[in-house]
Homo-oligomer: A and B are copies of this chain.
C-alpha cells in the first residue's frame, strides 16, 4: 500500500480532531469548520460572500446557484416531509438572492431497505411542491447505500435562478437605519420536528412552517420594495441568522424581543423543552433588511399574503455594536446574542 493510505496527522479545529454533530448545527462550531477548513480550501469571492446562493454572470445573464442536502429525521412530519423541505429549501435559497427559480436538480441517497411506498410519497411531494412553484426538476441522481450506512433517505437539491437587472441583495448591501422584517411567527419547524421525533403531544398539532417563499420575494420586488438583504431563518434560527449578517456587514442589529412573533403553543413547547425560540429552525421564514422608507410598504405587502400575514418589523440596523446583535428585552434590558456553540436540534433539515 502506498504512502497515500497512511493515516493523516490530526488537523484539529479548536479542541476537535473529529467531526461532532454540532459542526452541522448552524452555530459557532459550524462557523469554525467553514471558516477554517472549507472556505480556505475553495477560496473564491463567491463563497466568501457567505450568501445563500452564489450570483454570477453566465452568457450575459446573472444567475443564482445554490445547493443543500436534507437529512431531516423523521422523513415525514406535520406540515411537510423531506421532499417538500428539499424543494422549498432550495427555492428559498434562490429567493434570498432575489432570484426567480428556474430549474432544480434532485439527488437521492437511499438506504437499502427503504419502503418504495415511502420513496414514492417523497417524490410525489417534491413534484407537487416544484409544480406549485412553477419550476422543473430537470436532472437527478440515485445512489443506494448498504443498510446501516445511511438513514432511510437523504436528498440533495441544487437550483438555478435568474437575477433580474438592478437586483443586488446581499449582506454587503445592509445599511445603518435598515429595518429588519420577518414574514411570520418563528420556531414552528424545529418544534414540529422535535415533537414528532420524541412523540410529544400538544393540545393542537404543531405544524412545520415549511413553505416556498420565492413568490413572496418576487412580489416584494415587483411592488418596488428596495430589498437590501434577505436570509431564511433555517439552522440556528433567527438569532444565528442575524448574528451572521451583522458579522458579514460589520454593522450592529438591535432586535426588539417583544416584536418577534412567537405563537403561544411554540413558546410553551420551547419552555418545556428548554429551547430559546430565537435559535429554533424555521423553513418558511426569512428576515428582510429594507430601508426605513420602504418598511411600511413591505409590511403591508407581506401581510396581504398568506405566507406573510404575521409579518412584523422586529429590529433595526445601527452603526454601533459592529458585528453584534443586541436584544432589547421586554424589561428594557439589553443583552448581546451569541452564536450557540453547537445546535439545539440535530437533523432538523
Query: Contact residues of A with B, CB < 8 Å?
Result: 2, 4-5, 7-13, 16-25, 30, 33-34, 37-38, 41-44, 46-47, 53-54, 56, 58-63, 65-71, 76, 78, 102-103, 105-121, 123-124, 126-127, 130, 136-146, 148-151, 154, 156, 158, 160, 162, 205, 346-347
Which residues from chain B contact A148 at a C-beta distance below 8 Å?
148
Which residues from chain B contact A56 at a C-beta distance below 8 Å?
102-103, 138
Complex CA–CA separation, A123 to B103 (angstroms): 27
Asked, given contacts A139-B67, A145-B151, A146-B347, whether A115 binds B162 with beta carbons under 8 Å apart, the answer is: no
Contact between A2 and B78 (Cβ–Cβ < 8 Å)? yes
Contact between B19 and A127 (Cβ–Cβ < 8 Å)? no
Contact between A116 and B60 (Cβ–Cβ < 8 Å)? no
Asked, given contacts A11-B117, A105-B66, A158-B67, whether A37 binds B141 with beta carbons under 8 Å apart, the answer is: no
Contact between A162 and B37 (Cβ–Cβ < 8 Å)? no
Asked, given contacts A33-B142, A47-B140, whether A67 binds B105 with beta carbons under 8 Å apart, the answer is: yes
Contact between A120 and B58 (Cβ–Cβ < 8 Å)? no
Contact between B42 and A162 (Cβ–Cβ < 8 Å)? no
For the complex of A and B, 4 pairs with smallest distance between CB atoms: A59-B61, A24-B144, A158-B158, A54-B138
Contact between A63 and B160 (Cβ–Cβ < 8 Å)? yes
CB-nearest residue of chain B to A343:
B144
Which residues from chain B contact A67 at a C-beta distance below 8 Å?
105-107, 139-141, 156, 158
Complex CA–CA separation, A107 to B44 (angstroms): 16
Partner of A71, one of B58, B61, B116, B143: B143
Asked, given contacts A4-B76, A117-B17, A154-B109, whether A42 binds B123 with beta carbons under 8 Å apart, the answer is: yes
Partner of A44, one of B71, B105, B138: B138
Contact between A112 and B58 (Cβ–Cβ < 8 Å)? no
Most chain B beta-carbon contacts within 10 A, residue among A59, A111, A115, A139: A139
Complex CA–CA separation, A17 to B116 (angstroms): 6
Complex CA–CA separation, A163 to B65 (angstroms): 17
Which residues from chain B contact A119 at a C-beta distance below 8 Å?
11, 19, 37
8 more CB-based (< 8 A) A-B contacts, given A24-B145, A59-B63 = A4-B78, A21-B144, A34-B142, A42-B140, A54-B138, A58-B160, A60-B61, A65-B139
Contact between B103 and A54 (Cβ–Cβ < 8 Å)? yes
Contact between B141 and A69 (Cβ–Cβ < 8 Å)? yes
Asked, given contacts A59-B59, A65-B105, A116-B19, whether A110 binds B24 with beta carbons under 8 Å apart, the answer is: yes
Contact between B65 and A138 (Cβ–Cβ < 8 Å)? yes
Partner of A117, one of B9, B41, B76, B162: B9
Complex CA–CA separation, A109 to B23 (angstroms): 11
Distance between A30 CB and nearest chain B CB, rounded to angstroms: 7
